[in-house]
Amino acid sequence: MSAPLHRGLRHVALRVTNLVRSRTFYEQLLGMKVVWEPDPENVYFSSGSDNFALHQIPASELSSYQPLKGQSLDHIGVILENPEAVDRMYRDVEPRLSELGGRVVTPPKQHRDGSYSFYFSDPDGIVIQALYEPSISKLKWDVTSDR
């Protein structure tokens, strides 16, 4: 197999129904830091090794917006360093999810491949996996403190 032509999937952009609510969710629950806010309809975050964007669905589309009954995107995820970090995150976010518009989808569990995770959703129903994955979680990330 040849080397990949990229440096990883480190950018995700989501369309949201309420940018203020979603921004609060990702800032308060996941600790995402704003790196660019080009206008009131868009905000870009980073945790230090990624780029995550929220785009407000335009008002002209919002009135006719129909959330999918199912979604093609199964979930997005955040990587944690070990199973204990997954449990700590679960204990921290679980009581705050409903007030921020989310919910627990699946409590922490061990997977057949040795990974360990739980799933929760954001205010628009996007599912997020908090994941310890043995081969990825041990990687060193180039994270800078000057975000």
Instruction: State pLDDT tens for residues 4-14.
Output: 888 788 899 99
Per-residue model confidence (pLDDT) at position 3: 76
The model's pTM is 0.87
Nearest to 47 by CA among 35, 58, 55: 35
Per-residue model confidence (pLDDT) at position 25: 98
Nearest to 95 by CA among 16, 28, 145: 28
11-59+75-137 CATH, one of 3.10.180.10, 3.40.1350.10, 3.40.50.970, 3.40.630.30 = 3.10.180.10
Q: Which two tokens stand for residue 100?
A: 């921020």
Q: Which parts of the chain register pLDDT below 70?
A: 1, 68-71, 141-147
CA distance 38 to 7: 25
Per-residue model confidence (pLDDT) at position 69: 65
Per-residue model confidence (pLDDT) at position 5: 81
Label the pairing between strands 51-56 and 116-121: unpaired
Per-residue model confidence (pLDDT) at position 88: 97
